[in-house]
Amino acid sequence: MIKRARIVGTGSYVPDKILTNQDLEKIVDTSDEWITTRTGIKERRIAPEGVYTSILAMEAAKKALEQAEVSPKELDLIICSTISPDQPLPSTAAFIQHGLGANTCGAFDMAAACSGFLYGITVAEQFILTGKYKRILVIGVELLSRVMDWEDRATCILFADGAGAAVIMPSEDDRGIVHTIMHIDGAFTDYLHIPGGGMRYVSSHETLNNKMHFVKMRGNELFKVATRFMENVSREIMEQTKISIDDIKYFIPHQANQRISIAVAERLGLPMEKLYSNIDRIGNTSSASIPIALDELNRAYKLDKGDLILLASFGAGVTWAGVLLKW
């Protein structure tokens, strides 16, 4: 009998090329000291020319599939979360399905920005629990270096490229996805957005000249909303599952800014050693940030059977989400 949906394999991939804060000092008016103290980021990974989103995604997916001992041909569904797709049409999931050599299973993209991976596993869980599907690949992948305004020091220092993936299958015991919560509030759409290139502001000389194809951010306001909403959703998860912060082995927040992560952890009363962070090395990889962090913990053998892991995200939309895993 299916009791839960469980992550049975994780994988991640970041490009080799490292862009340090010192490198950024040569591109925009900034300093290693400013970036480190305001964000916690020391370096980030940037994909070389010729590498697309689906290529990063497949690297992470192959590792997750290998760990789960699932062949691409056995997949029932592929969910790809990204806001930096290969092309506007077709979906990046289509390139991934073909590139992996998967069967003609269902596959689609999901746009929930930095909450995309948590939205993705929430959707996957439903298909597993109904018994409809048995093997689902969820990927969070971003190539944000391509949508950065490299003259805007407030954004180009934050975002980076990378991919993380998980294979989700039925579990007959209580290990797996314990609880999920998704939220969105479209009142904040202009806090973080790429205005151009859709049907509202169709690509034109004007949208190009006005840099409307790059990420625009109201960082200061976003900081406050992100902190509050990630705290709130973490509390919702704990209240609804009747657990306390002491029961959590690791808290993995979306890696947006180390100051946000620390503020959320402090408000929750979480001991800092339980806060997982890789933002110093990886930067903000949006959809990819939580699955990369989860994969790092998993591959470092830091997760034991039965551990409770709390995941919380926040991103453009604004979206925010929480997931509780029993490993």
Q: Active-site residue numbers?
A: 114, 254, 284
**Counting contacts by CB under 6 A, is residue 283 touching ligand COA?**
no
Q: What contacts 24+ positions apart, CB below 8 Å, involve 144-151?
A: 144/84, 144/215, 144/284, 144/285, 144/286, 145/46, 145/47, 146/84, 147/84, 147/194, 147/213, 147/214, 147/215, 148/214, 148/215, 149/211, 149/214, 149/215, 150/27, 150/28, 151/28
Residue 230: phi and psi, rounded to 5, are: -70, -35
Residues 22-41 touching ligand COA, rule: CB under 6 A, are 30, 34-35, 38-39
Binding mask 125-164 for ligand COA (x = CB under 6 A): ----------------------------xx--x-------
Tokens of 99: 């590139």
Among 70, 222, 248, 263, binds ligand COA (CB under 6 A): 222
Q: Kindly indicate which of the ranges 46-54, 212-220, 228-236, 273-281 contains the residues binding ligand COA, using the contact rule CB under 6 A.
A: 212-220
At 199 the three-state DSSP class reads coil
If one asks whether residue 216 binds ligand COA (CB under 6 A), the answer comes out as no
Q: Which of 94, 97, 71, 92 is nearest to 9 (CA)?
A: 71
Give yes or no for a cis peptide into 318 (omega within 30° of 0): yes
Kindly tell me which of 121 and 169 has the beta carbon lying closer to ligand COA: 121
Q: Residue 194 interacts with ligand COA (CB under 6 A)?
A: no
Q: What is d(CA 37, CA 258) in angstroms, rounded to the nearest whole number?
A: 9
Binding mask 246-275 for ligand COA (x = CB under 6 A): ----------xx--x---------------
Burial 84-96 (b: 16+ CB within 10 A, else e): bbbeeeebbbbbb
Residue 62 touches ligand COA, criterion: CB under 6 A: no
* Cβ proximity of 39 and 158 under 8 Å: yes
Residue position matching structure tokens 């991934």: 96
Binding to ligand COA by residue 108, rule CB under 6 A? no
171-190: contacts with ligand COA (CB under 6 A): none
CB of 31 to ligand COA, least distance (A): 6
122 contacts 138 by C-beta, under 8 angstroms: no
Is 299 among the residues that bind ligand COA (CB under 6 A)?
A: no
220 contacts ligand COA (rule: CB under 6 A): yes
Residue 232 tokens, joined:
């709130």
- Our finding on whether 167 is near ligand COA (CB under 6 A) is no
CB-nearest residue to ligand COA: 219
Nearer to ligand COA, 134 or 218 (CB): 218
Query: Under the rule (CB under 6 A), what is the footprint of ligand COA?
Result: 30, 34-35, 38-39, 114, 153-154, 157, 192, 217, 219-220, 222-223, 226, 256-257, 260, 284, 314-315
